[in-house]
Structure 1
Amino acid sequence: MTESTPREELHKDGSLRARGHMRDGEMDGYWEWFRLDGTMLRSGSFDRGRQIGTWTTYDRSGAPHKETHFGD
């Protein structure tokens, strides 16, 4: 089993778009996505590329707006 490695993706302007970990070329573990203004857009976890658990979408003020549940 390979170790997970940290990964960051950037918007075209260089600001942080997403961060999390990759394992064998797939998203793995907890990830966060951000809007261009830096506020969090969504967060949730992957198990080797498959969405699992509770994913949260945030409004522009940073408050949780919606939760979506994926099978573990």
Structure 2
Amino acid sequence: MAILPFEKHHKDGSVWARGQTIDGVPTGYWEWFRTNGTRLRSGHFKDGEQVGEWTTYDRDGRPYKVTIMTPKRV
């Protein structure tokens, strides 16, 4: 079980998403970006699920909205 950095790019080559995975599953802190480089969204994953505070940013990269994500119940 190794923690690996993950990065995906837009068609123009700019960073679209950045985070880390364990065995291909998102874990820890992640960020998504617009093609101009401003942050779009950020938050944490635990075992592939969004947890805790997730922040959405406006077009200028300023925090716009915070959503509290709770783990799904089985």
TM tier, smaller: over 0.9
Residue type at the aligned position of 1:21: Q
| 1:39-54 map, 5 Å | 39-54=38-53
Q: TM-score, normalised by structure 1?
A: 0.93
Residue type at the aligned position of 2:70: G
Residue 61 of structure 1 aligns with which residue? 60
What RMSD over aligned residues (CA atoms) do the two structures have, in Å?
A: 1.0
Residue 16 of structure 2 aligns with which residue? 17
For structure 2, the residue ranges without an aligned partner over 5 or more in a row are none
State the percentage of identical aligned residues. 55
Q: List structure 1 runs of 4+ shifted beyond 4 angstroms.
A: none
| Distance across 1 between alignment mates of 2:47 and 2:18 | 15
For structure 1, the residue ranges without an aligned partner over 5 or more in a row are none
Residue 30 of structure 1 aligns with which residue? 29
- Write the deviation string for residues 12-71 of structure 1: whole angstroms up to 9, x where unpaired: 111000100011111110000000111000000001210000000000111100011012
| Distance across 2 between alignment mates of 1:31 and 1:15 | 16
Residue 70 of structure 1 aligns with which residue? 69
